[in-house]
């Protein structure tokens, strides 16, 4: 490891000033993304600003028919990641195979920063790229509670990242489907959303053909394989929705 400054502010305002005051500074939430990136020298920030002491960035609350989340873990990665990782850190990092990006798309979430609110559909820009500006800090994520939702994750056994992950959410008859792992970044699958909004059954999902063009093609799975997995995993997520169960890792 190389030398860098370390700061642990107690408030969002202190974090903002620290972030703006040092060139090439990076935020540290759980450290599950930035630390490995630094270890492999893919990033060499001059300062790390640790958000772990800021109480305003923790907790789950419900208000005005919206669930507001600042930190969330469960069923992702290994115990270390589940205990240290944060939803804000994962979203800001925006790994193409991470779980949380698909969830904000499916749930129609709003990402709250220290400067503005960003709709999930406008948040993800590209691979490891979001709409966040250099001085912005994610402070919370909120979303309207769905009538039902389920997440199915077909994992890479070594990394536990998604080869393909599908998050299905239904609210007032409208269906949103977030896909991760299959492309260069998480995306919504409009053709399946339209079909399931008309008829919410596993058979409907399986009948939708997904083109392989533009999907990831690597040692873990071809583009054609991922194209096959998307409707199949969506169908299984619908089965869990109808059964009232949260989903599965396969």
106 vs 248, residue with greater confidence: 106
Does position 246 have pLDDT exceeding 50, yes or no?
A: yes
Question: Is the pLDDT at 154 greater than 70, yes or no?
Answer: yes
Strand order of the sheet with strand 25-28? Answer: 5-7, 47-50, 25-28
Tell me what pLDDT residue 72 has. Answer: 34
Between vectors from CA 214 to CA 209 and to CA 219, what angle results, nearest 5°? Answer: 100
Superfamily of domain 148-249: CO dehydrogenase flavoprotein, C-terminal domain (3.30.390.50)
pLDDT at 64 over 70: no
pLDDT computed for residue 245 by the predictor? 83
Chain centroid to Cα 108, Å, comes to: 12
* The pLDDT of residue 82: 63
Q: How far is CA 169 from the centre of its chain?
A: 14
**Concatenated DSSP letters of 11-50:** SHHHHHHHHHHSTTEEEESSSTTHHHHHHTTS---SEEEE
- Residue for token digits 């001059």? 46
**pLDDT, tens digit, for every residue of 103-145?**
999 999 999 999 999 999 999 999 999 999 988 999 999 999 9
**Of 33-42, 160-169, 201-210, 221-230, which gets the smallest average pLDDT?**
33-42
Using the CB atoms, write b or e for 129-146: b if 16+ within 10 Å: ebebeeebbbbbbbbeeb
**Whole-prediction pTM value?**
0.84
- How does the average pLDDT of the chain come out, rounded? 88
For CATH 3.30.43.10, list the domain ranges present in the chain: 1-56
Residue 220: DSSP 8-state: T
| Spatial CA neighbour of 213 closest among 192, 185, 182 | 182
Domain 1-56: assigned CATH number: 3.30.43.10
* Average pLDDT of the residues in 29-54: 81
Strand partners of residue 162:
155
> How distant, in Å, are the alpha carbons of 82, 158, 181, 216, 237 from that of 223?
29, 20, 11, 5, 21
User: What residue spans in the chain does CATH classification 3.30.390.50 cover?
Assistant: 148-249
Taking the C-alpha atoms of residue 112 and residue 108, their distance in angstroms, rounded to an integer, is 13
């Amino acid at each position: 490891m190389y030398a860098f400054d370390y700061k642990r502010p107690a408030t969002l305002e202190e974090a903002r000033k620290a972030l703006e005051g040092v060139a090439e500074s990076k935020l540290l939430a759980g450290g599950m993304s930035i630390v490995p990136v630094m270890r492999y020298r893919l990033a060499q920030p001059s300062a790390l600003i640790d958000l772990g002491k800021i109480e305003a960035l923790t907790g789950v609350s419900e208000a005005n028919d919206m669930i507001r989340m600042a930190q969330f873990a469960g069923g992702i990665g290994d115990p270390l990641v589940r205990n240290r990782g944060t939803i804000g850190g994962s979203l800001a990092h925006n790994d193409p195979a991470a779980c949380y990006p698909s969830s904000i798309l499916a749930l129609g979430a709003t990402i709250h920063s220290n400067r503005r609110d960003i709709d999930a559909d406008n948040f993800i820009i590209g691979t490891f790229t979001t709409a966040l500006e250099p001085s912005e800090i994610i402070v919370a994520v909120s979303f309207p509670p769905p009538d039902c939702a389920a997440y199915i994750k077909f994992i890479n056994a070594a990394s536990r990242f998604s080869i393909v992950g599908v998050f299905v959410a239904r609210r007032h008859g409208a269906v949103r489907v977030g896909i991760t792992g299959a492309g260069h970044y998480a995306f919504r699958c409009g053709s399946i959303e339209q079909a399931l909004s008309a008829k919410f059954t596993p058979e409907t999902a399986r009948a939708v053909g997904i083109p392989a063009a533009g999907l990831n093609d690597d040692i873990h799975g071809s583009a054609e394989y991922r194209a096959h997995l998307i409707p199949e995993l969506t169908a299984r997520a619908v089965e869990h929705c109808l059964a009232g169960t949260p989903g599965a890792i396969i």
